[in-house]
Amino acid sequence: MIGPMEPFDLVVRARRALVDVDGRPQERPASIGIRDGRIVAVDALGEIAVADADADAEIVLGDDEVLLPGLVDTHVHVNEPGRTEWEGFASATRAAAAGGVTTILDMPLNSIPPTTTVEALRLKQDAARGQVAVDVGFWGGAVPENLADLTALHEAGVFGFKCFLVDSGVAEFGHLEPPAFAAAMDAVASAGALMIVHAEDPAYLVEAAGGPGYAGFLDSRPPSSERAAIGRVLTEARRTGAPAHVVHLSAADAVPDLRAARSAGVDVSVETCPHYLFFDAAEVPDGATEFKCCPPIRDAGNRDRLWQALVDGDVDMVVSDHSPSTAALKQAPGGPGAGDFGRAWGGIAGLQVSFPAVWTAASARGIDLARVVGWMATAPADRVGLTHKGRLAVGADADLVVLAPDDELTVDVAALAHKNPVSAYAGRRLRGVVRRTYLRGALVDPDHPHGRLLVRDQRGLR
């Protein structure tokens, strides 16, 4: 082990830092010693081991700043290759860094081809290589055609498999009917992989009438659809022993079922998203298709119950489900204020503003910064095995964020790094400004990206 008095590449000192204590972030003064891109010492502010050691460089945070670990967003649709006009690795990772996110996992759709074969994974890695500003890993897809090939794709380095129990919205990524889902869970259990599930049951959906009315769209995807599909996930996870993860939970009605299953030993985790915690259905104007997502944004009482589930530990994490498209697709047919909820693309673009949106809503509820960082950094990193991410701890990558938690910003969609200037957060006043983001101890420079491509069980390749 390297001796503590040997020179550091960088020392970062902060009167307020969210350091890892027994697997959870806690706020305290800290000095962080960094060598070769990793944290090698964490001490109280002013202790000799770090603060007085030789270092090539030193950063001292201001009194209005807090040092956070880089956030980890395990639910991002980058869409490259194939639909790069919707988003791409360069734009998505710039947006991530601007929002304090230093690691993302890319979803297997809506790229063309989807990440359902080893060859498609290699194509996606080739597309990403050299242009990522943050570290990027990849999910594989489980579709009816590839169930025999999941083990090979897992061995190639994907972090697990995404499947849909309902139409995915794109023809090239089919959903799994109950028998196919059962077979997929058998395969995932055999491979020792994680299955992540878009859990809506089509039997409970009704066809949306279309037009500008949000209420009609909301009624077309009731909470019962999520609860029924989550019940199927829990049944198969219990039967097979395969670990499962429910993505973008919007229906709080399903929380008691998840709690009971976990109490019975089922290995299941669950995420929710910033838009479900920040917005409620009553504030979605008719025609405002920038708010359309599946499952939908529900009422204020449901939102309150999701927050309580987070606080109680029944929901594990918060990730963006950044699912952008072109303005023409998102605002079909007319544009802001005149959209058709039946025709518009369903997905919220929010990667860059996810953290301030959650922090704004959390702080208004008296929830402290440490809890938010746990939900948006440590918990997602741990669930996918990236235990060297999402924490300020010895041995972790030196992924750091300098945050001014009390500063505010007004979201200007034209100024976001997202490729298309469409977002439900347009014009919102949010709390928490990311001033600087560091990846493995180096300041992120979008013009000179130094992100790595991550594979399961390894720190990074290429």
- What's the pLDDT at 152? 96
CB under 8 Å to 33, separation ≥6 — which residues?
Answer: 4, 8, 10, 11, 39, 40, 41, 42, 43, 49, 50, 53, 55
8 Å CB contact between 98 and 71: no
pLDDT in tens, 27-70: 999 999 999 999 999 998 765 456 556 677 999 999 999 999 99
CB under 8 Å to 195, separation ≥6 — which residues?
Answer: 142, 160, 161, 163, 184, 185, 188, 237, 242, 243, 244, 245
Specify the residue for token string 């028998």.
179
- What's the pLDDT at 460? 41
Percentage of the chain beyond pLDDT 90 is 90
Judged against a pLDDT cut of 70, whether residue 233 lies above it is answered with: yes
- What's the pLDDT at 457? 74
Angle between helices 223-240 and 178-191 (to 10 degrees): 40
Domain boundaries, the chain: 10-63, 70-386
8 Å CB contact between 291 and 261: no
Residues 405-412 have a mean pLDDT of: 98
pLDDT in tens, 185-220: 999 999 999 999 999 999 999 987 788 999 999 999
Q: What six digits make up the tokens of 86?
A: 């919707």
Q: Where are the alpha helices (DSSP H) in 47-177?
A: 48-51, 89-98, 118-128, 150-155
**Residue 197: closest CA among 137, 141, 275:** 141
For residue 196, the 8-state DSSP code is: E
Q: b/e per residue, 215-238, with b = 16+ CB within 10 A?
A: ebbbebbbbbbbbbbbbbbbbbbb
Phi first, then psi, for residue 121 (nearest 5°) are -60, -45
User: Is 70-386 a CATH 3.60.150.10 domain?
Assistant: no
Judged against a pLDDT cut of 50, whether residue 363 lies above it is answered with: yes
- What's the pLDDT at 361? 98
Q: What are residue 55's DSSP bridge partners? A: 8
Judged against a pLDDT cut of 50, whether residue 261 lies above it is answered with: yes
Distance CA 194, CA 384 (A): 8
Q: What six digits make up the tokens of 406?
A: 């009390």
pTM value is 0.96
The alpha-carbon radius of gyration of the chain (Å, integer) is 21
pLDDT in tens, 102-130: 999 999 999 999 999 999 999 999 999 99
